[in-house]
Structure 1
Amino acid sequence: MSADVERLAAEFAKFQSKIQDAELRFSGVGEMQDQVARLEVVATSSDRTVRVVAGAGGAVTDIQLTPDAVRQPAPALAATIMATLREAVAEAVRRQADIVDEAVGAGFGLNTADQVRQAQVEALGTAVDELPSHSKPDRSARSDDDDFSQDTIYRHPWR
């Protein structure tokens, strides 16, 4: 009978060890979800006429144009918007992958960030080192030229 008790005790100890391992692996999931929910990437076109904000999953949350932007020929403005949008979305996805890797990557043997970067290299036809860095934007150096709050991409008939 004692052999059965010892076997059950050993199995129970293994079970407890697996529970502790799972708890350790998932301990950062709540914070990861919070970080992903707060994720915001701002991309500004090289001529500073278009500003795009993207969040988790690359969802575009805002597009702002300066008065100079709408003075451009339509094809040029469309190209500027699309390039800035792609930059914002790609960076948001890279940062989200970094957040996932920080929280659970090592525990599950994941390297999501490298997979995302490789997919972007293939989709964009560029080298990994040519992808924009994933540093946070400096929001302290704003000027009046960066204030897009009163601009819109919609044409108003009363203007």
Structure 2
Amino acid sequence: MSAQLDELIAQFENFQAKVRQAEASFAGVGDMQERISQVENAVTSPDGAVTVVAGAGGTVTDIRLAAGATRLDSAQLSALIMNTLRQAVAGAVQQQAGIVDDAFGDAFGVNTSEQVRQAQAEAWGTEAEEPASEQPAPQQTAQRATPRRRPGPRDDDDYFEDNSILRRD
């Protein structure tokens, strides 16, 4: 009977140790949430005409157009806004992934930052970029921000020239 009791006590102590480990891992959740809520990534187009600010979850919080932006034709301005917006959102999402990695990456053996970079590279048809900590400042990031593959007008989900919002698949 004593051996069984010792075994149960050992199992219970092991369970308690795992509970303490989980509590320690999740103790930083509040701090992580606070850091994520403060994420901000501002990117300015290479010519300085467009600045986009993105926050947590890739939410666009500001778009600023310089006086020179009005000299561009509508297609150029639209493309410049979209390219700058994509870079601002991508940077904000990468920052957020880095915060998650700092809080839980080691505990769960995941690399959220790498997963985000890979997903962005696949979505844009580009190579995965280095982590944000190794990237130049956001102003410089915008200078190499143009995706290598540019979809044709009919491939773009935002193409409404034929006045239809429905996809033709």
Q: Under a length normalisation based on structure 1, what TM-score does the superposition of the two structures give?
A: 0.78
SS in 2 for 1:128: coil
C-alpha distance in 2 between matches for 1:113 and 1:131: 7
C-alpha distance in 1 between matches for 2:86 and 2:34: 24
Match of 1:77 in 2: 77
Q: CA deviation at 1:128?
A: 2.2
- Is there any run of 5+ residues in structure 1 with no aligned partner, and where? 139-159
Q: CA deviation at 1:74?
A: 0.9
Q: CA deviation at 1:136?
A: 5.6
Paired residues in the alignment total 138
Q: Quick one: structure 1 residues 135 and 18, their matched pair in 2 at CA, closer, same or farther if it must change by over 3 Å?
A: farther
Match of 2:40 in 1: 40
Match of 1:26 in 2: 26
Stretch deviating more after TM superposition (122-131 or 80-89): 122-131
Residues 94 and 113, structure 1, Cα contact 8 Å, conserved in 2: yes
Query: What are the superposed Cα offsets for residues 5-24 of structure 1, whole Å, 9 maximum, x if unpaired?
Result: 32332122011111112122
Is it true that 1:10 corresponds to 2:49 in the alignment?
A: no
Match of 1:93 in 2: 93
C-alpha distance in 1 between matches for 2:6 and 2:90: 55
- Is there any run of 5+ residues in structure 2 with no aligned partner, and where? 140-169
C-alpha distance in 2 between matches for 1:58 and 1:94: 9
SS in 1 for 2:18: helix
Residues 113 and 131, structure 2, Cα contact 8 Å, conserved in 1: no
Match of 1:54 in 2: 54
C-alpha distance in 2 between matches for 1:12 and 1:101: 31
Name the Cα RMSD after superposition: 2.1
Residues 117 and 128, structure 1, Cα contact 8 Å, conserved in 2: yes
SS in 1 for 2:51: strand
Percent identity over paired residues: 51
Q: Under a length normalisation based on structure 2, what TM-score does the superposition of the two structures give?
A: 0.74
